[in-house]
Amino acid sequence: PGALVWFRRDLRSFDHAALHHALLAGTPVYCAFIFDSPILEGLPRDDRRVAFIHASLGELAAELEALGGHLLVRHGDARAEIPALAAELGVATVYANEDYDPAAIARDEAVAETLAVAGCALKLFKDHVIFARSEVLSQAGKPLGVFTPYKNAWKKRLEAQPDALAPWPVDPHAAALAPGRSQLPSLQEIGFDGADLAAAGITPGMRGGAALFDAFLPSLGDYGTGRDYPARDGTSRLSLHLRFGTVSIRHLVRTVLQLSARGQAGEGGATWLSELVWRDFYQMILYHHPHVVHASFKPVYDKVDWETGPAAEELFAAWCEGRTGYPLVDAAMAQLNTTGFMHNRLRMVTASFLCKDLGIDWRRGEAYFALKLNDYELASNNGGWQWAASSGCDAQPFFRIFNPVTQSERFDQEGDFIRQFVPRLARLSAKAIHAPWLHGGVDGYPAPIVDHAEARQRTLERYEVVKARG
Ligand code: FAD
């Protein structure tokens, strides 16, 4: 009896755990993707992520056809669509790759139950990360809540189990694919208008992911320093491709380790690998501590009393729209609002500004990022926000508060990034651009909505409740 491979956040036709296992197990092997209506509901019609997925599916369908298979794309609630498709095709097993988001886990359990009634099995495989769930633990066998010991244990595990990086080949077994014609509804048919990905600098699909990685590798050695300056092209920009699996995490890690072994990755290689381990770390945290989706990782931080009411709403709106009067914060929010990307340094600066300068609950900022970020990933976004709010694992201590002007002077010294995203400030000198109000202000650009020194004091008082245990 045949098998169905259910693609989700793994939109590629190479090094694919679920597809590999399905091809080995039986024939014919069908491939499908469901535009899951509960996820799509509430997204704007020009959502870039939906456009990215759609374009990536076009490429995936063509690649599967070239291998002798095809891709079926449906729109509806996956809980019903997958069992219906499995019955229609008469397959005995559905193969998919694991997803560690609590909502996805619940969905997969529901699908598995419905399939079981019809005598069909759902088989899940690790694919999205190098090590998942409890594969990396402390010496005492417990999940780790601090990054550095986690990273050390992760590396040890990899030394002991190097085949964790081995690819899951597809091509040699492609004869098992069921031939046929792909079916891909248009974006309009699923209720979307599309988005100008090229204008946002995005090339979708496996081709886009591979091109980015190739372009990044020559500068890998400089990543350690280059990554902190938003005006420079110092990071890989692969987050969107990692999110939707148009690149393989195993391939990325293997490549960096091979370059390192040959002495060609420099210090930057080790730093970049660390970032990929952060990604595994937050997926593991989410799996073991699903309460973080709604609450602080450290419960005592839920006692922090955030600002609410009309004045706070006005501050929140100013933050979202990039009208805080702090040029680096406003430029960062403009980058997010116009391109769907924000540089990591700026994610830290803007998140800190919302929680620690405006006194607004990190969950509000997290939700705004979730709506806007092309690379939105629940585990990393939640981890990043809780880090900035000091409520998370391995967080920034609450008394260490980013100064938005100092950050600007350090990481956008010449003001190039600010000039790019806040054209009104383009004529200011490198000296004046970080704090225009100290240099006579600029017509049409707001004065700071809060005084940083006063806000800092209020935040220290606000966090008093956690001091004893913070
Ligand atoms: P690179 O610097 O080239 O790093 C390579 C890859 O490593 C990234 O693509 C990403 O997959 C991973 N990575 C890097 N930094 C981190 C990190 N701190 N935590 C987890 N993984 C990391 N990343 C997301 O992918 N999705 C999010 O929704 C997200 N939200 C964030 C929110 C906040 C408040 C903060 C502080 C960080 C967030 N990050 C998120 C992490 C990080 O900012 C982005 O991964 C990074 O900016 C993406 O750019 P890049 O691909 O050029 O990264």
Catalytic residue among 275, 307, 409, 464: 275
pLDDT in tens, 162-202: 999 999 999 999 999 999 999 999 999 999 999 999 999 99
Per-residue pLDDT tens over the stretch 266-280 = 899 999 999 999 999
- CB pairs under 8 A, 24+ apart, for 412-419? 412/229, 412/230, 412/231, 412/328, 412/331, 414/231, 415/327, 416/231, 417/229, 417/230, 417/231, 417/328, 417/331, 417/343, 418/327, 418/328, 418/330, 418/331
Residue nearest to atom 4 of ligand 1 (CA): 275
Cross-strand bridge partners of residue 96: 6, 124
341 pLDDT more than 60: yes
Show Cβ contacts of residue 141 under 8 Å, excluding neighbours closer than 6 positions: none
- Closest residue by Cα to atom 15, ligand 1, is 275
Distance, in Å, from the CA atom of 6 to the CA atom of 128, rounded to the nearest integer, reads 14
Question: What is the arithmetic mean of pLDDT over 132-138?
Answer: 97
Largest CA-CA distance found in the chain, in angstroms, rounded: 76
Q: Over 90: is that where the pLDDT of 396 sits?
A: no
Of all protein residues, the one whose alpha carbon is nearest to atom 47 of ligand 1 is: 344
DSSP string, 194-207: ---TGGGT---HHH
pLDDT of residue 26: 79
Q: Which fold has domain 3-127?
A: Rossmann fold (3.40.50)
Residue nearest to atom 46 of ligand 1 (CA): 344
Catalytic residue chosen out of the listed positions 344, 403, 409, 437:
344
Report residue 78: phi and psi, to 5°: -60, -30
For domain 129-166+207-288, is the CATH number 1.25.40.80?
A: yes
pLDDT confidence of residue 469: 52
Domain locations in the chain as residue ranges: 3-127, 129-166+207-288, 299-462
* Ligand 1 geometric centre to CA of 239 (Å): 6
* Predicted pLDDT of residue 468: 59
CB atoms within 10 A of CB 189: 10
Would you list which residues are annotated within the binding site for FAD?
223, 235-239, 272, 275-282
Digit-coded pLDDT (tens) for 419-453: 999 999 999 999 999 999 999 999 999 999 999 99
The number of the ligand 1 atom at minimal distance from the alpha carbon of 243 is 25
Question: 79 alpha carbon to ligand 1 midpoint, in Å?
Answer: 30
pLDDT of residue 395: 81
**Catalytic residue at 306?**
yes
- Asked whether the predicted pLDDT for residue 470 surpasses 70, the reply is no
Task: State pLDDT tens for residues 62-102.
Answer: 999 999 999 999 999 999 999 999 999 999 999 999 999 99
Q: What is the mean pLDDT of residues 331-352?
A: 98
Question: To the nearest whole number, what is the mean pLDDT of the chain?
Answer: 97
Q: Residues 4-25: what's their mean pLDDT?
A: 98
Q: Give yes or no: 313 in active site.
A: no
Q: Has 362 been annotated as catalytic?
A: yes
Pocket (CB within 6 angstroms of ligand 1): 227, 235-239, 242-243, 275-276, 278-279, 282, 344, 347-348, 351, 369, 373, 375-377, 380-381, 383-385, 388
What distance in Å separates the CA atoms of residue 397 and residue 296, rounded to the nearest whole number?
A: 14
Q: Tell me the pLDDT tens digit for each residue of 199-229.
A: 999 999 999 999 999 999 999 999 999 999 9
User: Given ligand 1 and candidates 279, 319, 372, 411, which is best to mutate, with the most ligand atoms within 8 Å of its CB?
Assistant: 279
Ligand 1 atom closest to the CA of 281, numbered from 1: 20
129-166+207-288 and 299-462 have identical folds: no
Q: Distance, CA 403 to ligand 1 centroid (Å)?
A: 21
- For 299-462, CATH gives 1.10.579.10
